[in-house]
Structure 1
Amino acid sequence: MKAVTWRAFGPARDVVLVEDLATPVAGQGEVLVRVAFSGVNPSDCKARGGSRPGVTKPPFDVIVPHSDGAGVIEAVGEGVDAARIGERVWLWNGQWQRPFGTCAEYISVPEAQAVVLPDNVSLEDGAVLGIPGLTAAQTVFGGGGVDGKTVLVSGGGGSVGFLAVQLAAWAGARVIATCGARDMERVRAAGADVVLDYRSETLVADIMAATEGAGVDRAVEVELGPNLSMLCEVMKPLGTIAAYGSAKNMAPQMPFGPMLFKALKLDITLIYILPLAERQMALSKLHEALTAGALRFEPPHVFEMADAAKAHEMVEAGGRTGAVLVST
């Protein structure tokens, strides 16, 4: 089979290749998926670039990248119902702690990691559901339902934030989102009740005004370090900060006093290690929203396998709308 690979840390254009590898076989409890689209995420680029803290060499001799993808089940292993053959599925954790991910013509994964796609969802959109979709669902619903609550989504124009806005609005929350000026209209169209420029010097006052002074019940946070002081001011007592990133400050100082006297909860999500019960909840919420037609996906940027390095470069450059996919 054809597969995108890398064998050493470095810039994508220097280390990403297309090779012929042996087609995998579905083992016990596994399914073999003919991959249609492989989703590229920032974590895939960081892994290939060698920028993860404490990681000094690639964990495997040959790596087929990417955790997300979508395709059709072509064969099943022992213990898996043969009726699954032919199912359209989306994939999660394709390359988590294993060498061969989704950026290949085929992948074999435990059957639970191949989730049936609703009929109204395309394979392109299915390839976005793994990291962005599950992260959005977990950060919005990790504390239970949000009907009638106020949810603040930082970075509402990003891959996770855009889906989080839609999920929270669908679930009955009043949604306040922050983003750059370019993204304000699209974030408002996604369902945000109030959209604010994250650069505003009056952001705290703007958020409090939008809540009529009551504050925020739950914050979905993409940049915990830079925004933590602001969050301490706008959160309601007993509110929850659901953080999934802090790229601009990976060692933030915690303002414990303000957090203590509001008894704020900090809920950090790393979607790769989400426990089974929580993952099933996130999956269920995603599929409820998908079946209801409540999620809108922007047109993706699709690259051929030969241009996988360019796909990585687009993700690293940032500033895009729509997912970055590799057609396999």
Structure 2
Amino acid sequence: MKAIVYERTGDPSVLKLVDRPVPEPGAGEVLVRMAVSGVNPTDWKARRSFPLPAGWQIPGQDGAGVVEAVGAGVDPDLIGERVWIWEAAWQRPWGTAAEYTLVPVRQAVRLGDASFDLGASLGIPFLTAHRCLTAGEFMPDSLRPGALADHTVLVQGGAGAVGNAAIQLARWADATVITTVSSAEKALLAAAAGASVVINYREQNVVEEVRKIAPDGVHTIVEVSPARNAATDVQVLRNGGAVCVYADDEPEVSIPIRPSMMRNARWQFVLVYTEPTVAKAHAVRDVAAAADQGGIRVGVDAGLPLHRYPLAETAAAHEAVENSAVGKVLISTSDA
């Protein structure tokens, strides 16, 4: 099989296209013929600095394809099923940037008739967004239509992959969604994702605009840039609300302690890999349901432009994400 492999950490030049034997699934595993691999910031961060316990790594946490074989203890009826994959390369060498990959069966989720492009876009962004939308005092453990009715959510950075996912999931659950962006072009994307109100933070006063919609404050904030936004967040949060931080644009952040205390605010830090097991299970189930019901989409019409690369150009795909490409970067891995 063709696969992208790196045997040392570094810049995109360490990514090599190689031939490897097709692996055989072990107990509890499935072999998936990959169709599309999704690229996330975590992929290039891992490539630059994460250790390589196996001495080599195929990158890619997310993807979609077709189950081709199963290991011992796995229902053989899964063979031929279209699936989406999450966390393929977390503490494992078998990522999704290859013609085939191996994953534990629970990490291959039925995709149904949804596109492989959608399936490859679900994992990291949508599971992260789900955690951000369910971790607060006012927030439910699970999402479904109606679960966030009468809730107002602020998504900081609504044109990013997680921001887009948060908007779509929150709207699927019937929340009022306010989001911030940095340009008119990104405002169009956030609106396409379903945001109720879009604020250009370069031209508008975020606190004033949010308070027009939510005079008592928002129930939760999905936060991409805590170092820049902490002071704003605490001003627009309602008493008991949560700021869910999923990105680290700076190594340290100064949190307004007294204003946060006055609001009984929660600062919730989110890393999808170490998310509590029950919360992760809820996220996988709910994201799968939203995809099955047509509640989440990809493409320009969904506010998430797609950028496609062939497997041989995985290095360029990594560079695009590292350079903050707006939208979703996908790698075509085979004709599954």
Specify the TM-score bucket, using the shorter chain as the normaliser: over 0.9
State the Cα distance separating 1:204 from its structure 2 match.
1.4
State the Cα distance separating 1:201 from its structure 2 match.
5.8
State the Cα distance separating 1:113 from its structure 2 match.
0.6
Residue 243 (structure 1) aligns with:
245
2:94–2:103 CA contact under 8 A, matched in 1: no
Aligned-residue sequence identity (percent) comes to 39
Report how many aligned residue pairs link the two structures.
Answer: 319
How far apart are the structure 2 equivalents of 1:109 and 1:47?
A: 18
1:124 corresponds to which of 114, 117, 120: 117
Q: Which moved more, 1:141-150 or 1:160-169?
A: 141-150
2:190 corresponds to which of 187, 190, 196: 187
2:326 corresponds to which of 308, 313, 320: 320
State the Cα distance separating 1:292 from its structure 2 match.
2.3
2:317–2:329 CA contact under 8 A, matched in 1: no
How far apart are the structure 1 equivalents of 2:176 and 2:204?
A: 23
Structure 1 residue runs of 4+, over 3 Å off? 57-60
1:215 to 2:217 alignment: yes
**RMSD across aligned positions (CA):** 1.6
Whichever residue aligns with residue 5 of structure 1, its letter is V
Residue 5 (structure 1) aligns with:
5
Superposed, which structure 2 residues align to 1:93-112 within 5 Å? Answer: 93-112=87-106
2:200 corresponds to which of 176, 187, 197: 197
State the Cα distance separating 1:26 from its structure 2 match.
0.7
2:152–2:219 CA contact under 8 A, matched in 1: yes
1:282 to 2:283 alignment: yes
2:99–2:333 CA contact under 8 A, matched in 1: no
Residue 42 (structure 1) aligns with:
41
1:77 to 2:79 alignment: no
**SS across alignment from 1:175:** strand
1:141–1:282 CA contact under 8 A, matched in 2: no
Q: Which moved more, 1:27-36 or 1:288-297?
A: 288-297
How far apart are the structure 2 equivalents of 1:6 and 1:84?
A: 31
Which structure 2 segments of 5+ residues have no match?
A: 141-146, 300-304
1:135 to 2:128 alignment: yes
State the Cα distance separating 1:152 from its structure 2 match.
0.2
**SS across alignment from 1:192:** coil
**Alignment deviations for residues 224-249 of structure 1 (CA, whole Å, 9 cap, x no partner):** 221111111110010011111122x1
Superposed, which structure 2 residues align to 1:60-71 within 5 Å? Answer: 60-71=54-65
**SS across alignment from 1:320:** coil
**SS across alignment from 2:285:** helix
**Alignment deviations for residues 191-235 of structure 1 (CA, whole Å, 9 cap, x no partner):** 111100133462212211222x22111111111221111111110
1:301 to 2:302 alignment: no
How far apart are the structure 2 equivalents of 1:223 and 1:189?
A: 22
2:84 corresponds to which of 79, 84, 90: 90
How far apart are the structure 2 equivalents of 1:201 and 1:109?
A: 46
